[in-house]
Chains A and B, each alone.
Chain A
């Protein structure tokens, strides 16, 4: 009996380390393909694009080094300047607008309204529609000949004018309004989930503390769900910077070049005009636009975490 007891652990000792090693390796093995793919598609291609942007590539990638020539010719182009300005204009209004509308909708629905599920579905529905469909439908609505203007004139107000996309000064706002319509429901869903996760006792405590509803939201509830604001903003920023299909369907960059966006311009350079080098330079500028926002933000997060660690 006692010898038997001694043999078993000895046998186990030779097999167990192998099994344990396998056990620790499984997560790495499972994750390896996606990590490798992310690494190649994000970092390798980013670096490759960076190199192309410094090369004399035209229709096909070539590797003659020309320094910053592509960037210089890019920034000399008026259409690119319009596109880059539009990007910041659109991103700002689109993100702030859809978050504000989404937050207001979420707060309204959070007041225990009747038929909550119905409202939620209605407001979330635009997200189920692709940007192409949204863009096409709204382009009909904005169209003076058979859109809202024609409808209201048909009701009798013959002076009524509503042709945002026909005017080069207002076309950008048409794009912004459509973008907000599309994504404020998504912001609402995230905000609503956040509001629902707030401990109801916090609201009761604020009530007893004598805080008004507005003050309770501003000082207690919204600060508690601050991480949700960040999540919504980050998702919207990358939507905004990639904006291509919405504009392509809604205005096709027009009237003139007034609603050109960087993504459209990059597509144009790379696939229509065969200027891959300059297209890559424009793509790098888009990356810079994202970095301008996200790098300071992540630095701030790290700094805040350190500061909290010190106080605690």
Chain B
């Protein structure tokens, strides 16, 4: 059974359409990430699941209940806000028990629940403090504690890590993942950070301009993005898009730096009826320095020449900006084997990992 089911959901303010025809589903215990650029409607979608925004049309099911007109408090959900939204005048303990208090849960049960959650999140020593006396990471934990104590059917996270500094964000990301493993609650997690989505989610919904572009596992989203938006949004540095021409059912040609055409063999034949002009999408880590050893390990590698315009060593890897026709592409190299600036190298492009897109519909071919 799925814990959350969204069918053909629409949201508009007057004539302004925010969400158009959203279909989503989260199985029990699943971690679904909604990811997209700001303004794509992901936070609105989450607010609608929580019941904080009204539904224009479509259906939201939580468990086996249609909740379109159910009050937020009766939806059996808990939410962690971007600003944490901790009640500033209450202590951590009161913050955690406020919901139970509002529902008239007996005091003894409340105390027990607080103990359980505080132990789980290791915030026992903070219970008497007020939110103003906590660090960002501690506030984050308390906000999660307030959600956890409810033991809801569905957990909603609205960009919970975006107010933390970079190091703490990575730590808390790991903690959220561990926590999800331990409690196994169905979770919907909104983020604009594609790395967060990739690392945490069991399935990702990539959103843009009010609709879901692709809803799949992180691996499928990364390897086989359904269109150029998803391909460009997921992954950093972004996927390279190279205009190319189909020269047969198994080969394409791209413009090299010197203006000549370089022919690249495709790993699989193109279906009949594919357009003549295509866009070759290749991720930076699938560009290598060509060697015969590489060719024997990866038979689908195609080679071509490219001058190196710039190298950016980051320590763990070295990014090289390569010239191809009149555009620049990025390649990711081992620091020990990195090209140097000004050099012209023979690239080995792993065509088995390449994606071809239709330049007019932007869809994957």
Residues of B within 8 Å of A207, CB to CB, are 52, 71-73
Give the Cβ gap from A155 to chain B, nearest Cβ, in Å.
46
B85 contacts A199, C-beta separation under 8 Å = yes
Q: Does B82 contact A (CB under 8 A)?
A: yes
A311 contacts B87, C-beta separation under 8 Å = no
Tell me the nearest residue of chain A to B98, going by C-beta: A209
**Interface size range of chain A in the complex:** 20 to 34
Residues of B within 8 Å of A219, CB to CB, are 87, 90, 98
Task: Tell me the bound Cα distance from A226 to B130 in angstroms.
Answer: 15
Give the Cβ gap from B154 to chain A, nearest Cβ, in Å.
11
A204 contacts B52, C-beta separation under 8 Å = yes
Q: Does A196 contact B (CB under 8 A)?
A: no
Once A199-B85, A224-B89, A226-B89 are accepted as A-B contacts, the answer to whether A208 and B73 lie under 8 Å apart by CB is yes
- B60-104, CB under 8 A of A: which get 1 and which 0? 000000000001111001110111010111100000001100110
Tell me the nearest residue of chain B to A222, going by C-beta: B89
The one of A205, A223, A224 in contact with B81, judged by C-beta atoms closer than 8 angstroms, is A205
Residues of B within 8 Å of A204, CB to CB, are 47, 50, 52, 72, 79, 81, 85
**A 183-231 contacts with B by CB, 8 A:** 199, 201-202, 204-212, 215, 219-220, 223-224, 226
Once A204-B52, A223-B89, A224-B88 are accepted as A-B contacts, the answer to whether A209 and B81 lie under 8 Å apart by CB is no
Residues of B within 8 Å of A308, CB to CB, are 130, 133
Q: Does B27 contact A (CB under 8 A)?
A: no
Once A208-B72, A208-B73 are accepted as A-B contacts, the answer to whether A311 and B129 lie under 8 Å apart by CB is yes
Residues of B within 8 Å of A202, CB to CB, are 85, 87-88
Tell me the nearest residue of chain B to A205, going by C-beta: B85
Task: Tell me the bound Cα distance from A207 to B51 in angstroms.
Answer: 9
Give the Cβ gap from A228 to chain B, nearest Cβ, in Å.
13
Residues of B within 8 Å of A210, CB to CB, are 73-74, 99, 102-103
Give the Cβ gap from A225 to chain B, nearest Cβ, in Å.
10
Q: List 17 A-B contacts (CB under 8 A).
A: A199-B83, A199-B85, A204-B47, A204-B72, A205-B79, A205-B85, A205-B87, A208-B77, A208-B79, A208-B99, A209-B146, A210-B99, A211-B102, A219-B98, A220-B87, A223-B88, A312-B130
A311 contacts B88, C-beta separation under 8 Å = no
Give the Cβ gap from B60 to chain A, nearest Cβ, in Å.
15
Task: Tell me the bound Cα distance from A215 to B89 in angstroms.
Answer: 14
**B 318-361 contacts with A by CB, 8 A:** none
Residues of B within 8 Å of A226, CB to CB, are 89
Task: Tell me the bound Cα distance from A113 to B229 in angstroms.
Answer: 41
B89 contacts A209, C-beta separation under 8 Å = no
Task: Tell me the bound Cα distance from A209 to B99 in angstroms.
Answer: 4
**B 39-55 contacts with A by CB, 8 A:** 47, 50-52
Which B residues are within 8 Å of any A CB, using their own CB?
47, 50-52, 71-74, 77-79, 81-83, 85, 87-90, 98-99, 102-103, 128-130, 133, 146
Q: Which of A209, A224, A308 has the most CB of B within 10 A?
A: A209
Once A201-B82, A205-B81, A226-B89 are accepted as A-B contacts, the answer to whether A211 and B72 lie under 8 Å apart by CB is no
Tell me the nearest residue of chain A to B84, going by C-beta: A201
Task: Tell me the bound Cα distance from A190 to B51 in angstroms.
Answer: 31
Tell me the nearest residue of chain A to B143, going by C-beta: A205
Residues of A within 8 Å of B72, CB to CB, are 204, 207-208
Task: Tell me the bound Cα distance from A169 to B199 in angstroms.
Answer: 76
Residues of B within 8 Å of A205, CB to CB, are 79, 81, 85, 87, 146
Task: Tell me the bound Cα distance from A116 to B50 in angstroms.
Answer: 29
A209 contacts B102, C-beta separation under 8 Å = yes
- A52-88, CB under 8 A of B: which get 1 and which 0? 0000000000000000000000000000000000000
Taking A199-B85, A207-B52 as known contacts, 9 extra A-B pairs with beta carbons closer than 8 A to each other, sorted by chain A number, are A204-B50, A204-B81, A208-B51, A208-B52, A208-B73, A209-B73, A210-B73, A215-B102, A311-B129
Task: Tell me the bound Cα distance from A119 to B81 in angstroms.
Answer: 33
Task: Tell me the bound Cα distance from A226 to B85 in angstroms.
Answer: 18
Residues of A within 8 Å of B79, CB to CB, are 204-205, 208
**A 152-208 contacts with B by CB, 8 A:** 199, 201-202, 204-208
Task: Tell me the bound Cα distance from A112 to B272 in angstroms.
Answer: 59
Task: Tell me the bound Cα distance from A223 to B90 in angstroms.
Answer: 9
Tell me the nearest residue of chain A to B50, going by C-beta: A208
Residues of A within 8 Å of B83, CB to CB, are 199, 201
The one of A201, A208, A220, A223 in contact with B78, judged by C-beta atoms closer than 8 angstroms, is A208
Task: Tell me the bound Cα distance from A256 to B232 in angstroms.
Answer: 86
Give the Cβ gap from A290 to chain B, nearest Cβ, in Å.
28
Residues of B within 8 Å of A212, CB to CB, are 102
Tell me the nearest residue of chain B to A208, going by C-beta: B72
A211 contacts B129, C-beta separation under 8 Å = no
Task: Tell me the bound Cα distance from A125 to B47 in angstroms.
Answer: 39
Task: Tell me the bound Cα distance from A215 to B103 in angstroms.
Answer: 12
Tell me the nearest residue of chain B to A210, going by C-beta: B73
Residues of B within 8 Å of A199, CB to CB, are 83, 85
Q: Which of A215, A219, A224 has the most CB of B within 10 A?
A: A219
B85 contacts A201, C-beta separation under 8 Å = yes
Give the Cβ gap from B299 to chain A, nearest Cβ, in Å.
55
Give the Cβ gap from B12 to chain A, nearest Cβ, in Å.
19
Task: Tell me the bound Cα distance from A312 to B132 in angstroms.
Answer: 9
Task: Tell me the bound Cα distance from A236 to B88 in angstroms.
Answer: 27
- A-B pairs, 8 with minimum CB distance: A210-B73, A209-B99, A201-B85, A223-B89, A205-B85, A312-B133, A210-B102, A201-B81
Q: Which of A205, A206, A207, A219 has the most CB of B within 10 A?
A: A205
Task: Tell me the bound Cα distance from A199 to B73 in angstroms.
Answer: 19
